[in-house]
């Protein structure tokens, strides 16, 4: 009765089962995984809400690619960090997930393939399957910094590969694609989809890190951003795609994207009307988020210094990856930390890490919780 693509794996993993059981028993848990700023004391000034109450929102005058003023404000914002962006090359969407959905419809027919980095954002698998396209992972390797395994990428590219996703900086490895790798990815063949939602959050950005993928002028590229990370407001549901590359391809892509967007018209009018003000005011919250990330990163680095754990380099983003002693796998570690130290961390396998054991922590965690949580993690490991 149902489609094959909606038959995604819904089984609960062992960590979620254990967490649910603890909650039933009323046991407290120190959560080092939350990455929702609105739950972590990182909310914008309440006056921002007023911008969502513009009376103009009482009228419905949809524009498939998004209201012109909203597109101008995000184009102007992107232009501050690179070559000027034409607002006519912006398409607004109601989340980055929707942007991926639009782009997979634009670029792929059912059964075709999208190249995705591994380890990376776990949602790619589902976003691909829901569009009836096949995720084709290409590995990232770590030797003090992360880089693309070019031989493995070349082997993954075949006639069915229709798009190449890069996440810049990547979640959760925090790694930016370096300039050399960006040149390689751009030359690899398929159009680029570059998820740059975490770009404003640089911590220890490598000098060789590439700029935005939109600077790879010879290649059709779709750069993704959104208020969810830029302004710490995931609940507003506003993201955008910036289309770049050879003019004729850009024009065709925009024409097709406009039709796709017209079938949904999913971005709400109030958020589009509020976007110029949010973009103008986002700096203050962004600075607080950056400060939180830096402080938590510093505390974690100090805690790691004399421990059997290794903190992988964090160039940017909201996560930290810890390599733990190889006495058990990452799932067993996360279960043990939950049961014996009352601390919730994510096991690396959630993100398809190959070796390990790795656990992933949210650098956005509230500072007192963070210090208590990492103390418990290190006590448990050293014990
Ligand atoms: C790589 C990546 N892209 C995008 C997003 C944000 O998605 P959305 O705009 O759908 O909230 C996230 C959220 O964690 C992410 O990790």
- Domains assigned to the chain: 14-43+283-382 (3.90.1150.10), 46-280 (3.40.640.10)
Ligand 1 nearest atom to the CA of residue 172, by list position: 16
d(C-alpha 247, C-alpha 187), whole Å: 17
Taking the model in full, what pTM does it have?
A: 0.97
Helix (H) or strand (E) holding 319: strand 319-323
Q: Is 33 in the pocket of ligand 1 (CB under 6 A)?
A: no
- What is the per-residue pLDDT across 134-174, written as a single tens digit (0 to 9) for each? 999 999 999 999 999 999 999 999 999 999 999 999 999 99
The alpha carbon of 100 and the centre of ligand 1 are apart by a number of angstroms equal to 10
The alpha carbon of 169 and the centre of ligand 1 are apart by a number of angstroms equal to 12
Instruction: Find the angle CA(216)-CA(240)-CA(271) to the nearest 5 degrees.
Output: 160
Task: Please name the residue whose Cα sits nearest to atom 2 of ligand 1.
Answer: 121
DSSP alpha helix (H) spans, 57-95: 68-79
Q: What is the dihedral of CA 167, 171, 176, 182, to 10 degrees?
A: -20
Please count the CA atoms within 13 angstroms of the CA of 121 that sit on its side-chain side: 24
The alpha carbon of 96 and the centre of ligand 1 are apart by a number of angstroms equal to 6
Task: Please name the residue whose Cα sits nearest to atom 7 of ligand 1.
Answer: 96
- What is the per-residue pLDDT across 120-132, written as a single tens digit (0 to 9) for each? 999 999 999 999 9
Task: Please name the residue whose Cα sits nearest to atom 6 of ligand 1.
Answer: 96
The alpha carbon of 140 and the centre of ligand 1 are apart by a number of angstroms equal to 19
The alpha carbon of 132 and the centre of ligand 1 are apart by a number of angstroms equal to 21
Helix (H) or strand (E) holding 195: strand 192-195
Q: Is 101 in the pocket of ligand 1 (CB under 6 A)?
A: no
- What is the per-residue pLDDT across 65-93, written as a single tens digit (0 to 9) for each? 999 999 999 999 999 988 999 999 999 99
Cα radius of gyration rounded to whole Å, the chain:
21
Q: Is 226 in the pocket of ligand 1 (CB under 6 A)?
A: yes
The alpha carbon of 236 and the centre of ligand 1 are apart by a number of angstroms equal to 13
- What is the per-residue pLDDT across 299-314, written as a single tens digit (0 to 9) for each? 999 999 989 999 999 9
């Amino acid at each position: 009765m149902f489609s094959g693509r909606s038959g995604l794996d819904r089984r609960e993993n062992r960590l979620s089962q254990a967490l649910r059981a603890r909650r039933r028993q009323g046991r407290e848990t120190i959560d080092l995984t939350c990455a929702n700023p609105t739950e972590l004391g990182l909310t914008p000034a309440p006056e921002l809400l007023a911008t969502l109450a513009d009376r103009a929102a009482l009228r419905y005058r949809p524009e498939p690619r998004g209201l012109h003023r909203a597109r101008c404000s995000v184009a102007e914002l992107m232009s501050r960090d690179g070559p000027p962006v034409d607002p006519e090359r912006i398409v607004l969407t109601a989340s980055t997930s929707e942007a991926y959905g639009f782009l997979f419809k634009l670029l792929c027919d059912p059964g075709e393939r999208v190249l995705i980095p591994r380890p990376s954002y776990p949602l790619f698998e589902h976003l691909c399957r829901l569009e009836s396209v096949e995720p084709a992972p290409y590995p990232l390797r770590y030797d003090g910094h992360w880089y693309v395994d070019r031989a493995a990428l070349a082997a993954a590219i075949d006639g069915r590969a229709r798009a190449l996703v890069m996440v810049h900086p990547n979640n959760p490895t925090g790694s930016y694609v370096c300039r050399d790798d960006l040149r390689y990815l751009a030359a690899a063949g398929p159009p680029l989809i570059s998820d740059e939602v975490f770009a404003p959050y640089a911590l220890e950005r490598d000098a060789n890190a590439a700029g935005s993928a939109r600077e790879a002028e010879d290649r059709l590229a779709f750069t993704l951003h959104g208020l969810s990370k830029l302004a710490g407001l995931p609940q507003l549901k506003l993201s955008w795609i910036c289309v770049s590359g050879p003019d004729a391809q850009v024009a065709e892509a925009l024409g097709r994207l406009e039709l796709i967007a017209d079938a949904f018209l999913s971005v709400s009018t109030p958020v589009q009307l509020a976007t110029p003000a949010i973009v103008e005011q986002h700096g203050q919250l962004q600075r607080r988020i950056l400060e939180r990330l830096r402080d938590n990163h510093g505390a974690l680095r100090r805690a790691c210094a004399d421990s059997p754990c290794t903190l992988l380099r964090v160039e940017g983003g909201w996560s930290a990856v810890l390599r733990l002693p190889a006495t058990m796998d990452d799932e067993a570690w996360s279960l043990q930390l939950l049961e014996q130290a009352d601390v919730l961390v994510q096991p690396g396998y959630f993100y398809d890490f190959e070796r390990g054991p790795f656990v992933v922590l949210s650098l956005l965690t509230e500072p007192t919780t963070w210090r208590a949580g990492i103390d418990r993690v290190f006590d448990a490991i050293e014990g």
